[in-house]
Chains A and B, each alone.
Chain A
Amino acid sequence: AQRVTQPEKLLSVFKGAPVELKCNYSYSGSPELFWYVQYSRQRLQLLLRHISRESIKGFTADLNKGETSFHLKKPFAQEEDSAMYYCALHAGGKLIFGQGTELSVKP
C-alpha cells in the first residue's frame, strides 16, 4: 500500500536548535517525494522536492531508499519556521500526504 507516515504530530524546539521532521513512506516504485509547508493563515505551498536536491530557507531533505525515509532537516531553527509541515508522495497521479507535523520554534 502507498502510505506516508509522519510520526510526530508536534515538534517543539528553541530558536537556534537543529530540527528534524521525520517522514517515512511505503511505495513499490521509484518515489517522488515533497515537503509542503503551511504557515498560519496561508495556503499550502511547496517547500522542496527530492529531485531538485536544493536547500530552501535552510531546509534540506535527503531521500533514503534503504530506510524509505525523507526527513526534513534544518541546522538552526528560526521562529518564522513555525508552521505545519506535510510530507507527500506522488503516486498514481495524486499526492499522498502524511498527517503533518506542527513545528513550534520558541524564542
Chain B
Amino acid sequence: KAGVTQTPRYLIKTRGQQVTLSCSPISGHRSVSWYQQTPGQGLQFLFEYFSETQRNKGNFPGRFSGRQFSNSRSEMNVSTLELGDSALYLCASSPPVPGRLNTEAFFGQGTRLTVV
C-alpha cells in the first residue's frame, strides 16, 4: 500500500497570503489528522476529520481550517499567513477499527511551509 502522501513538500509564502496543503491517506483509512511541528512548540494537533466531518479540533485560531472529501483526501487551509505559521505540517491517517476509535496514526512526510 502507498503511504500517506502530502503535497507540496515545500512551500514559500508571503505574510498575508493564504495556503492550501493536501493530504492523501492510505487507502481504506477514513480518519485524517493534521499536526503542526515547530522547534519551539513541538508537535501540536490541529484537527481531525472522519467521513468528511471534523471530529476533533485543537487550539489554533480560525485562520486554520480544513476539510475532507468523499474519497478521504483532506486539505488544510491557512489564511492571512503570519511569520509564526512557518512550520512542518504533518498529516496522519488511521485505519478503521470496529467498535472503537482507532488510535494508531500513519504519518506523511510533511509539507514544509516558510512564511516570509
Cβ of A99 within 8 Å of any chain B Cβ, yes or no, is: yes
CB distance from B38 to the nearest CB of A (A): 11
- Please, which residues of chain B bring their CB within 8 A of the CB of A46? 104-106
CB distance from A24 to the nearest CB of B (A): 15
Measured between beta carbons, the chain A residues less than 8 angstroms from B45 are 94-96
Contact check, B56 vs A99: say whether CB atoms are below 8 A apart.
Answer: no
Q: Are A94 and B107 in contact (CB under 8 A)?
A: no
Number of B residues, CB within 8 Å of A: 23
How many A residues touch B, CB cutoff 8 Å? 19
- Decide if B48 is an interface residue (CB 8 Å cutoff): yes
Q: Report yes or no: A43 in contact with B42, Cβ–Cβ below 8 A.
A: no
B56 touches A98 (CB 8 A): no
Measured between beta carbons, the chain A residues less than 8 angstroms from B17 are none
Q: Which residues of A contact B (CB under 8 A)?
A: 32, 34, 36, 43-46, 49, 86, 90, 92-100
Interface CB pairs A-B, < 8 A, 14: A43-B3, A43-B4, A43-B108, A43-B109, A44-B107, A45-B107, A46-B104, A90-B103, A92-B56, A93-B48, A93-B56, A94-B48, A97-B35, A97-B44
